């Protein structure tokens, strides 16, 4: 190991430790200290706070199963609550500097704030919202509709949640269902994906980063067993659509390189499925008309959304780029903590209304429905 590599590893370790202790350990210890003056954590308490949450996640990845997954979800949700508690504690520390308020009152304020924030996040993570997106295109696709789901994260979420998603989709008119990656976490079993076989429409799927982290080929086999069409750097003709699916990758030019190897059909409405909201300009140059992505979760929990926004400026919603419409889903599920404070779990329903001149007088569909 050379000196530069060693320095990089030391730097990474220091930053990771500072993040872990500062954002995930300090907030609950400080809150308990305010609520119970003179509290001194013993060895077991410190071990539970320091080691148990990440240990459960590691155990779940090493020994996947229903019980270990449940423990991992509980641990990750605890860590998510600690992360949300961090800004609350910082604000209260500032309040203590300028106000004579006693520690017990400060602690009660903090406990109330995180209880409200956490309860909302837990409840909101269970709700499914249908968002209707009208698209004005040519007459060839008028009256058609597509449904997108993304970032469901079965493993972090249960197969029961997937059944609810399938039920929601089947209540919508859809010519195809598009799954834009991160459907699963870790190595789930085939029966965990069985609800997908109940979908009434043709289903297309592309890999997200979490499918790459797990046993990719095994996941693909499970999906194909439930009649899901897996698009891996390929295009299919589904008159009047051409669906193009690219594997997730870290490289910024993935979309440009992937599309350069494919042929476009000039008499089709071309739809690109790519997990990350990147490469939209290259997709527009190639001739893609609709690009659907996910990955960002719209930050999922406060204040993580500010960091995600810096990494992915097109973090959520619709963007028009040189004849292409990019839609970035906030995600249909949650990763890690079963918490969501920055948006709802979304099922996106694209409705094609013909061209803008003929469709302008028509009433537009409802923007959202909570189910």
What are the pLDDT digits (tens) for 110-139? Answer: 999 999 999 999 999 999 999 999 998 888
> Are residues 246 and 364 both part of a single domain?
yes
Retrieve residue 139's tokens: 């007459």
Range of the domain at 19: 3-124
Which CATH number goes with the domain that contains 340? 3.60.21.10
Q: What is the pLDDT of residue 258?
A: 95
Which 3 state secondary structure label does DSSP give 292?
strand
Q: Which of 124, 145, 177 is the last residue in one of the domains?
A: 124
**Same-domain check for residues 274 and 319:** yes
The domain boundary residue, chosen from 76, 91, 124: 124
Same domain, yes or no: 196 and 311 = yes
Please name every residue paired with 269 in a beta bridge, in sequence order, or none if there are none. Answer: 241
Domain shared by 44 and 191, yes or no? no
- The structural domain count of the chain equals 2
Position 27 scores a pLDDT of 92
167 and 250 in a single domain? The answer is: yes
Edge-to-edge strand order for the sheet containing 202-205?
Answer: 228-230, 202-205, 176-179, 145-149, 345-352, 128-135, 368-370
Q: Do 57 and 189 reside in the same domain of the chain?
A: no
Q: What is the pTM of this model?
A: 0.88
Cβ–Cβ under 8 Å, residues 136 and 355: yes
Closest CA to 106 of 94, 121, 116, 118: 94
Identify whether residues 250 and 338 lie together within a single domain. yes
Last residue of a domain, one of 85, 104, 124: 124
My answer on whether 266 and 356 are in the same domain is: yes
Instruction: Give residue 364's pLDDT.
Output: 43
**Spans of the chain, pLDDT less than 50:** 357-367
pLDDT of the residue at 371: 56
d(C-alpha 208, C-alpha 193), whole Å: 16
Positions of E strands within 60-188: 128-135, 145-149, 176-179
Give the model confidence (pLDDT) of 273-331 as tens digits: 999 999 999 999 999 999 999 999 999 988 888 888 888 999 999 999 988 999 999 99
180 with 57, same domain: the answer is no
């Amino acid at each position: 190991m050379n000196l530069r590599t060693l320095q990089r590893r030391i730097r990474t370790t220091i930053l990771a430790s500072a993040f872990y202790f500062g954002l995930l350990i300090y907030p609950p210890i400080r809150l308990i200290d305010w609520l119970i003056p003179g509290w001194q954590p013993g060895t077991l308490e410190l071990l539970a706070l320091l080691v148990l949450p990440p240990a459960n996640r590691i155990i779940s990845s090493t020994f996947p199963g229903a019980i270990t997954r449940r423990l991992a979800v509980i641990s990750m949700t605890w860590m998510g609550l600690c992360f949300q508690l961090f800004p609350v504690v910082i604000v209260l520390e500032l309040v203590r500097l300028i106000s004579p308020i006693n520690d017990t009152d400060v602690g009660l304020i903090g406990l109330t704030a995180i209880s409200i924030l956490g309860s909302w996040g837990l409840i909101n993570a269970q709700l499914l919202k249908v968002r209707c997106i009208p698209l004005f295109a040519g007459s060839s696709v008028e009256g058609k509709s597509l449904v997108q789901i993304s970032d469901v994260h079965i493993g972090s979420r249960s197969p029961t949640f997937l059944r609810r998603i399938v039920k929601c989709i089947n209540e919508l008119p859809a010519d195809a269902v598009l799954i834009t990656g991160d459907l699963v976490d870790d190595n789930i079993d085939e029966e965990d994906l069985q609800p997908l076989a109940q979908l009434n429409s043709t289903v297309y799927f592309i890999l997200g980063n979490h499918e790459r982290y797990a046993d990719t080929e095994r996941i693909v086999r499970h999906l194909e067993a439930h009649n899901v069409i897996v698009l891996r750097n390929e295009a299919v003709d589904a008159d009047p659509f051409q669906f193009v699916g690219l594997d997730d990758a870290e490289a910024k030019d993935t979309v440009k390189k992937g599309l350069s190897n494919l042929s476009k059909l000039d008499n089709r409405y071309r739809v690109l499925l790519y997990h990350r909201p990147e490469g939209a300009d290259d997709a527009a140059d190639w001739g893609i008309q609709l690009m659907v992505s996910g990955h960002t979760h719209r930050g999922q929990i406060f204040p993580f959304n500010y960091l995600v926004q810096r990494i992915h400026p097109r973090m959520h919603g619709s963007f028009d780029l040189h004849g292409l419409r990019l839609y970035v889903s906030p995600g249909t599920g949650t990763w890690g903590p079963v918490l969501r404070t920055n948006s709802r779990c979304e099922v996106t329903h694209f409705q094609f209304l013909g061209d803008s001149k003929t469709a302008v007088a028509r009433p537009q569909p409802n923007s959202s429905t909570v189910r």
